Chain A
């Protein structure tokens, strides 16, 4: 039942915020903040409550479950379930949700109620994506997060918002339709084998099917998730969407929407089609490695601050893709940790870019420079997150990426070497960002307001969590480890060893 509430609270909160904003816009902000904070509290309760019992999940079971008939005629159930992986994703969603609301506190002045309605509905959709274990419900949630996101970009975005919003919509929608076809195909195949129509994840898990069919259906899922991830060469919607979205939109896009792609790969593609995914993994890994380098080089060349940060996501999520398809526990757990840390560090960079844009009304790096003297706190925070992004040991991103690389090395030395060069590339763009924006002379004579208390709190929380993840990530690792170990020990070895890349 608690899972249902997790999804419902933002939905209801969204409606309440929209209604309340008719009278007082400020009320909408507080309602949104309260709703998402309440969700965060619920998720924390689950985490604390299960801290000692994660062993349960090592048998492949769920920590918490909510199952209710929905459309029984088609075998569709309203089935939510949560294991360590989804628990962490839920926590990340709520955490970044709070940040997104706070980041929009002064930025959004237009149609405040509708904005928060959309924001909360996206979050609800994302939560449902992380919780759904009925494939129809999953697809429903997948679409639910898409539409409000479109509005968020198209209404509150920057100069080219409509272009970006439509591009985002087309990419995700087309790939989502592919996934729908794949889901239906799986549904039919399962019926042919067992005579039962069901969208239930647990039932579909071990559907026997010919290799060719499995590969086709797997690709349907894979493309949908790869577009979201985003995987090279399907990444081109991302820079536009991230750049044009308002700060909260960028935070949610980078921090959460991308993670739904990675989550989908881990939750669905590998367990549902281990053979097909296994034989596909060399291609996926190669594309991941290319993405790491390509994203880094493109980030280095950008002149728009938000665009630069957007391309770093392509690079970092390349690590995630590489880690997932490296097909071993080290890399897989590293990928999950990278997902979490990237969500926080990149989200924070977008908040900083948004804060700068709010003060300077520009995102052009050429118009910035020497800001350290005028906004030392903001600059210090930016330096911190840039360092996290370039993989400084002691901060969260390093642990994740190091594990991914360590795991990749077990499989392919060449790809590990290429990906390490990607870390070097991260140095390039992160230092360029710091140099061009915060260091150097201040030729345009900027004099800006430093971080407000609200922003200080946000930055402080995000820094603290990155340091924590960097120095003592064990609680987090222990939470998702059982689910990952299950994947590693039960699902992955299904494949005969000679099929390994």
Chain B
């Protein structure tokens, strides 16, 4: 069964090739069946492989399928090879399955769009690249998938290409993530130069053997890889692209900019965890970046008007949680949160898509309201998905994964009370912005008329994800609540095991941490209820004060970082390119040419064409010569 591994990326890629070459000639039905069918093949294959893997684990809980040698130059010979272990398996299953749901949803959502075939072609290419990224056996192939998903992200954000705003957002996404990628590329050079291979497993073993803890090489390599990860996962300081990326079609936002691609950075760090373990400085940086990002994005989410931008900031914030978990060494917790986040965030985006389409492309939450009766599916999706996102205790998937992270922030090897406090504040913020969204959109008075209700192909994926957002968390529960450890135990075949401490420093126990987090959730919910439903005036009064307005503006503009980058990097380069359009280096050559021309003009003026002038010149010359001979 495992031998079919290659089919998981190959099927979507084949779908892409078919759609790219013949997409215009196929009927919409044909396009959808090729697009969805190929993803279905990889989803089914990955589920089957997962089952086979669980029932009969290969030796060492890892299996490699080498297809061919990609490049062969001296000692540099990366292969096109896929590596399957619990980590990549979990990610692959989640990615292909969520992709399948979103593809089904898109078949209806995008119906009637002139770029129907193009959309599915890009989406298929995305799934293929993402799976290559996850299954890659070496860092170069991973980098190929990494760039591939970046490309698809670019293509899909700018999918409605007629509007230059979309093109701008698309280019911003590609370029900002590529800034991180350049750091990552240098990281690859460093790893190859020092360790002589890019194949991940040998590389990790060699790093552990060759470098001691805290070795400068390990720190440099880990930080450079982290550069790539923060770019792709929209973490500080490269998070600015993700909110703008919401310009793409909503299924794209659900699949790429929420559920799958943006978590690639988390995957990269988990995949190279040995390096980060060797470089405590880098790992601590990961935790700090995660914490700061989750708080900053949380505040920004509170001030957005666009429903998709709220979700975008919440994505940034939730990936911040994953980074926090990675940074403190709670590897399994990060992957667990990735999985539950993929379910509920995809759900939220798909539901947002229903709302947006129902209101004829309306994105502003302040122009929505009272939709809970008109759009019950979307309403329940938001309630359940939002609860999961905010961590409603006991019954939602998000609660279990986030609780594990919050607790790890204190108790894990790299944890500290300070990180824990930040994580708890994050819980409060999450509850607040999530329910702000729900209250604004679904409660209060209706401002607009519902024009379209979702059909079966949009409802079924939403319902499936609703179910997953509830039950997805039961695979791993805290000691006080059943103590299921299926997920952690499985993933820890690939990641270092972290003992789940019952109590951390300072006597805090997991149960009390859980209770405090639950209290934070309740407080956030209550604040949202007070400020955005019951007494909306008071929220408005708060933002009307001078300080309130300034803070609001700061948060709404993503802490002014776009502005800063624009001044620091974009404008100087654009200015130089524009000023130097004629190429200053050409000037010396042009100068030589002009000098020649000038000399030609001057000399040709002496040729008057008059005989007497020449005669006079001859005379003068003769007299001068004679004078020179005589007197000198």
Within 8 Å by CB, do A and B touch in the complex?
yes
Q: Is the CB of A403 within 8 A of B144?
A: no
Q: How far is the CA of A424 from the CA of B178 in the complex (A)?
A: 7
Q: How far is the CA of A126 from the CA of B576 in the complex (A)?
A: 37
Contact of B72 among A239, A421, A474 (CB under 8 A): A474
Closest residue of chain A to B183, judged by CB? A420
What residues of chain A lie closer than 8 Å to B178, measured between beta carbons? 423-424, 427
Q: How far is the CA of A394 from the CA of B151 in the complex (A)?
A: 12
Give 15 CB contacts A-B under 8 Å.
A294-B585, A297-B580, A298-B577, A298-B580, A330-B74, A406-B188, A406-B192, A416-B189, A420-B185, A423-B185, A424-B175, A424-B179, A431-B171, A432-B171, A440-B163
Q: How far is the CA of A398 from the CA of B72 in the complex (A)?
A: 14
Chain B interface (Cβ < 8 Å from any Cβ of A): 20, 24, 68-74, 76, 80, 140, 143-145, 147-148, 151, 154, 158, 161-164, 167, 170-171, 174-175, 178-179, 182, 185-186, 188-190, 192-193, 573-574, 576-578, 580-581, 583, 585-586, 589
What residues of chain B lie closer than 8 Å to A424, measured between beta carbons? 175, 178-179, 182
Q: Is the CB of B20 within 8 A of A236?
A: no
What residues of chain A lie closer than 8 Å to B148, measured between beta carbons? 392-394
Looking at A372, A427, A438, A478, the one whose CB has the most chain B CB atoms below 10 A away is A427
What residues of chain A lie closer than 8 Å to B573, measured between beta carbons? 297, 300, 428
Q: Is the CB of A236 within 8 A of B73?
A: no
Q: Is the CB of B154 within 8 A of A473?
A: no
Q: Is the CB of A440 within 8 A of B576?
A: no
- Whether A441 is near chain B, meaning CB under 8 Å from some CB there, is yes
- Whether A216 is near chain B, meaning CB under 8 Å from some CB there, is no
With contacts A372-B161, A403-B73, A439-B161 known, is A409 near B580, CB below 8 A? no
Q: How far is the CA of A474 from the CA of B69 in the complex (A)?
A: 8
Closest residue of chain B to A394, judged by CB? B144
Contact of B583 among A298, A420, A439, A472 (CB under 8 A): A298
- Whether A103 is near chain B, meaning CB under 8 Å from some CB there, is no
Q: How far is the CA of A474 from the CA of B79 in the complex (A)?
A: 11
Looking at B71, B145, B170, B586, the one whose CB has the most chain A CB atoms below 10 A away is B71
With contacts A330-B74, A393-B147, A478-B72 known, is A431 near B161, CB below 8 A? no
Q: How far is the CA of A146 from the CA of B590 in the complex (A)?
A: 21
Q: How far is the CA of A403 from the CA of B74 in the complex (A)?
A: 11
- Whether A435 is near chain B, meaning CB under 8 Å from some CB there, is yes
With contacts A236-B589, A440-B167 known, is A472 near B70, CB below 8 A? yes
Q: Is the CB of A297 within 8 A of B576?
A: yes
Q: How many residues of A contact B (CB 8 A)?
A: 59
- Whether A322 is near chain B, meaning CB under 8 Å from some CB there, is no
Chain A interface (Cβ < 8 Å from any Cβ of B): 167, 232-233, 235-237, 239, 294, 297-298, 300-303, 329-330, 333-334, 370, 372-373, 376, 380, 387, 392-394, 398-399, 402-403, 405-406, 409-410, 413, 416-417, 420-421, 423-424, 427-428, 431-432, 435, 438-442, 471-474, 477-478, 481
What residues of chain B lie closer than 8 Å to A233, measured between beta carbons? 585
Closest residue of chain A to B590, judged by CB? A236
Contact of B581 among A302, A423, A432 (CB under 8 A): A302
Closest residue of chain A to B182, judged by CB? A420
Q: How far is the CA of A478 from the CA of B71 in the complex (A)?
A: 10
Query: What DSSP secondary structure best describes chain A's contact surface?
Result: helix
Distance (Å) between the CB of B25 and the closest chain A CB?
12
Closest residue of chain B to A481, judged by CB? B73
Distance (Å) between the CB of A405 and the closest chain B CB?
6
Distance (Å) between the CB of B588 and the closest chain A CB?
8
Nearest first, the 10 A-B pairs at minimum CB distance are A301-B577, A393-B144, A409-B189, A439-B161, A236-B586, A233-B585, A300-B577, A420-B182, A301-B581, A435-B167
With contacts A297-B580, A300-B577, A330-B76 known, is A477 near B162, CB below 8 A? no
What residues of chain B lie closer than 8 Å to A417, measured between beta carbons? 186
Closest residue of chain B to A421, judged by CB? B182
Q: Is the CB of B577 within 8 A of A402?
A: no
Q: How far is the CA of A290 from the CA of B20 in the complex (A)?
A: 38
Q: Is the CB of B143 within 8 A of A393?
A: yes
Contact of B580 among A301, A330, A387, A432 (CB under 8 A): A301
Distance (Å) between the CB of A240 and the closest chain B CB?
9
Q: Is the CB of A329 within 8 A of B73?
A: yes
Q: How far is the CA of A471 from the CA of B24 in the complex (A)?
A: 27
What residues of chain B lie closer than 8 Å to A405, measured between beta carbons? 185, 189
Q: Is the CB of A387 within 8 A of B193?
A: no
With contacts A376-B24, A420-B186, A424-B179 known, is A406 near B76, CB below 8 A? yes
Closest residue of chain B to A416, judged by CB? B189
What residues of chain A lie closer than 8 Å to B170, measured between beta carbons? 431
With contacts A329-B74, A427-B175, A471-B80 known, is A441 near B581, CB below 8 A? no
Q: How far is the CA of A472 from the CA of B154 in the complex (A)?
A: 26
What residues of chain B lie closer than 8 Å to A334, measured between beta carbons? 73
Distance (Å) between the CB of B311 and the closest chain A CB?
25
Distance (Å) between the CB of A36 and the closest chain B CB?
28
What residues of chain A lie closer than 8 Å to B74, measured between beta carbons? 329-330, 333
